[in-house]
Amino acid sequence: MATEARTVPRGAATPSRRTPGRRDGPEDVDENAGSGERVADMIERLGRLARFRGHADRLNAAQWDALRFLARANRYSRSPGAIGTFLATTKGTASQTVNALCRKKLIDRTIDPRDRRRVRLEILPRGREVLAGGPAHDLAAAASEMAPSDRSVLVAALNGLLGTLQRRNDRQSFGLCATCRFFRRGDALDSPGGPHRCGLTLEPLNDAETGQICAEHSAAEKIGHG
């Protein structure tokens, strides 16, 4: 028996076709998907989800951010002052955050042997254990499900957005050592602690340090190819 074809009147909405078993995401793409307001909304929602997990572990947002910063920062940047700059907060608030992390036995505070006026902060093994199950872990796990090409595009876009906001608000970049204009690759091959060198402090840098973030970071200028 032939099935009668159903004619859709001109101008009427065409019923959507869904693949069996497919679930639409909480935020389907719409005509405003590319607006600046939508981008800001999605980033804020991701942040709220992460902070909710953070409070569940009895660390507030500032404490999580400070702990993650210390886990990624180089030796020049593990200080209360650098934390305050990174979090864009006051010295008093940064000091309270550091004190709270010390009381929780997540970080240790010592006097810098090279400059006794400075305080050096180091993340403790317990702090790294807490980080391993922290809110950033959930975000990383979700991001790992994305296609590698999509992740690369997203990282590049977010990095550009971050740079724009930092320049607009006159904030330090806190970028990776290897992307700094002071980085001298292979300039300390024969020096203990090398093989690289910081052109600002003139101290040797090892390979691991080139992937850490620095409070003194200054982005290298990009040279165009005509």
Q: Which residues contact 109 (CB under 8 A, 6 or more apart)?
A: 98, 102, 119, 120, 121
Rounded to whole angstroms, the Cα distance separating 27 from 30 reads 9
pLDDT band at residue 118 under the 50/70/90 scheme: confident
Q: Which residue has the tokens 């992740």?
A: 151
CA distance 34 to 42: 11
Query: Parallel, antiparallel, or unpaired: how do β-strands 119-123 and 107-111 relate?
Result: antiparallel
pLDDT surpassing 60 at residue 41: yes
Q: What integer is the mean pLDDT of 23-47?
A: 71
d(CA 86, CA 173) in angstroms, rounded, equals: 9
Q: Is the pLDDT of residue 27 over 70?
A: no
Domain range list for the chain: 57-141
Of the chain, the percentage scoring pLDDT greater than 90 comes to: 40
Q: Would you call the peptide bond into 125 cis, given omega within 30 degrees of 0 as the criterion?
A: no
Pick the CATH number of 57-141 from 1.10.10.10, 3.30.1120.10, 3.30.360.10, 3.40.50.300: 1.10.10.10
Answer yes or no: is pLDDT of 207 > 60.
yes
Region 203-219: what's the mean pLDDT? 91
Position 55 confidence tier, pLDDT thresholds 50, 70, 90: low
Whether residue 20 is predicted with pLDDT greater than 70 in this model: the reply is: no
In the predicted model, what is the mean pLDDT of the chain?
81
Segment 63-80 mean pLDDT: 92
Q: Are 180 and 221 in contact (CB under 8 A)?
A: no
Which has the closest alpha carbon to 86: 99, 101, 71?
71
Compute the average pLDDT of residues 212-226.
71
Structure tokens at 33: 């998907």
pLDDT tens-digit series, residues 156-189: 888 888 778 878 877 777 889 998 999 999 999 9
Distance CA 139, CA 144 (A): 9
